[in-house]
Chain A
Amino acid sequence: MELLLSIFGATAQGLTWTIFALGVFITFRILNYADLTCEGSFALGGSISSVFVVGLNLNPYLSLFVALLSGLAAGAVTGLLHTKLKIPSILSGILTMFGLYSINLRIMGQPNTSLVGSKSLIFMIKDKLPTAAELGIKDIILQTGVILVVGLIFSLIAIAFLYWFFGTEIGSCIRATGNNDTMVRAQGVNTDMTKIAGLSFSNGLIALAGALVTQTQGYADVGMGQGVIVIGLASIVIGEVLFLKAKNFAVKMLAILCGSVIYRIIIALILRLGLDTNDMKLFTAIVVALALSIPTLLKNKPLFTRKEVKPPF
């Protein structure tokens, strides 16, 4: 029973983190840009969302929207540093991330903010539902259930939106930029703009995810973004390994959703086996390093060479 409960909780957590993984997917896989801004913009979303609900007593839905906008801006800053000021890609992201740490502290006025007792997103939804006692279930199950549904709805909306967006003319240009920006310029597209747009979208989603995670876990911490890019990458590679043959863009994103959930379940199970929480980051880093090196490791094996189809010329 306790095992099921922890899997249930991990699933809910994985779903609230899906949007984050999708944001990392946009830069890492689509734009081919290892963007570290995400560590700052994730905490930015969390900081804004917590202050909205706790300090300002404003609507949590509004806080999600403002977090999204702030993330768009953060991504645009990184994009401008990289394209207009020609700062190398990784460094541009690090600079924005670094600066955001101070900004996040300013926003919260303290290193962390607890949402306990305030009108958080989950509180407001539960308020409209019958109580756990009336339903005859434990409160923790109701709470987790609400988080799971909220996470699922947000993830599916994000996937539907991204599927549409990356199918449009502008979206196609962003995808092509990650492939070959010389070609995109030769087709008359300003690749500075497509890069800025891609980074902006990615970080907008990531800040939204930070806000959503804050609303569901009940607190925001200025350090909540530390190392999260690795969690995003873990979700992406787990999804890719599970859906190796996925060609459709929507399926690829659903694979990331599954990857995010499975990552959380694996962590939950390992923790139940008695592993120290502090070792989790090392564990995640090793998993991601292994998963990312699979293509290189398999290259030398004849087992995986493709059957050559001779082209007509």
Chain B
Amino acid sequence: MLKLNQINKTFNQNTVNEKRVINDLSLYLKRGEFVTVIGGNGAGKSTLLNLIAGVYPPDTGSILLDGEAITNLPEYKRAKHLGRVFQDPMMGTAANMEIGENLALAYRRGKTRGLKWGVTNKEKQIYMEKLNNLGLGLETRMSSKVGLLSGGQRQALTLLMATLQEPKLLLLDEHTAALDPNTAERVLELTQQIVSANNLTTLMITHNMKQAIQYGNRLIMMYEGKIIFDVSGEDKSKLEVTDLLKKFEVVSKGSFANDRMILS
């Protein structure tokens, strides 16, 4: 489904701030896999997702999605195949536009847009149903501005928008990190529900080891731009937080204390 071949990415090349963020990374995702990505600050998790989404191109290496080379395809073109939810709840929606209008923008992902009316009544029925499935009461607030919603509601809406047109790959960039624990839990449940219902191939970044173990059927751990641990199936379901911490201790040696604080 998704194939990353020997990707390298260095920021601020040839300056004092040079930082090699992705280091000869290769990754292969099978259809229907729900992969959680874990790692400390600066491990390259978000960069990995941004490379797949096309925010910037890799320095070397290639990216294939469903057999199609997308390495240098502009962000808006590959968006056709990708659903994205961002860490910042403000990033995934247009605050001054209505819930229905936001959904209508997402409903047309990958389609040509013309001078037809932006939201039709027929679609509104579909949105109503989908919002109803979220169970947040948003179906009665179709013409409310998204800016009036809470962070959790906005993330749930972004999640719905990302999957309204079924994506080949769903990219979740710490999408619950900015939410309070209860809300985060709720959004994760919704994520699980939507991913399972559509059997979506998913890549989810998280800072939280418990979440990384609890959700998905494969887990990868990143450190200094490399994948240092890759576990799936039964091995993953047996995994515990202490195992992950040990793994971190081995690779990060002295700097571990810092990461431990961040991760716990």
Contact A169 B77 (CB under 8 A): no
Provide the residues of chain B in CB contact with A312, threshold 8 Å: 136-137, 153
Contact B118 A171 (CB under 8 A): yes
Contact B114 A188 (CB under 8 A): no
Provide the residues of chain A in CB contact with B86, threshold 8 Å: 182
Q: Mark A176-199, 1 if CB is under 8 A from B, else 0.
A: 101110111111111100000000
Provide the residues of chain B in CB contact with A170, threshold 8 Å: 113-115
Could you tell me which residues of chain B, from 52 to 67, have a CB within 8 Å of some CB in chain A? 53
Contact A180 B93 (CB under 8 A): yes
Contact B94 A191 (CB under 8 A): no
Report the count of interface residues on A (CB-CB < 8 A).
26
> Is residue B97 contacting chain A, with contact meaning CB distance below 8 A?
yes
Contact B74 A190 (CB under 8 A): yes
| CA–CA, A139 and B110, complex, Å | 59
Provide the residues of chain A in CB contact with B28, threshold 8 Å: none
Provide the residues of chain B in CB contact with A171, threshold 8 Å: 118
Contact B97 A185 (CB under 8 A): no
Contact B92 A183 (CB under 8 A): yes
Provide the residues of chain A in CB contact with B204, threshold 8 Å: none
| CA–CA, A179 and B76, complex, Å | 17
Q: Mark B110-140, 1 if CB is under 8 A from A, else 0.
A: 1001111111000000000000000011000
Provide the residues of chain A in CB contact with B214, threshold 8 Å: none
| Residue of chain A at shortest CB distance from B118 | A172
Contact A175 B150 (CB under 8 A): no
Q: Mark B73-93, 1 if CB is under 8 A from A, else 0.
A: 011110110101010001111
Given A169-B115, A180-B90, decide whether A188 and B95 contact each other with a Cβ distance below 8 A. Answer: no
> Is residue B209 contacting chain A, with contact meaning CB distance below 8 A?
no
> Is residue A313 contacting chain B, with contact meaning CB distance below 8 A?
yes
Given A180-B95, A182-B86, A311-B153, decide whether A188 and B118 contact each other with a Cβ distance below 8 A. Answer: no
Contact B109 A176 (CB under 8 A): no
Residues of chain B at the chain A interface (Cβ within 8 Å): 53, 74-77, 79-80, 82, 84, 86, 90-97, 101-102, 104-106, 108-110, 113-119, 136-137, 149-150, 152-153, 161-162, 182-183, 186
Q: A168-B116, A186-B82, A312-B137 are in contact. List 17 more A-B contacts (CB 8 A).
A: A165-B115, A169-B116, A169-B118, A170-B114, A172-B105, A176-B97, A179-B94, A180-B91, A183-B91, A186-B162, A187-B105, A188-B79, A190-B76, A311-B153, A312-B136, A313-B152, A313-B182
Residues of chain A at the chain B interface (Cβ within 8 Å): 165, 167-173, 175-176, 178-180, 182-191, 311-313
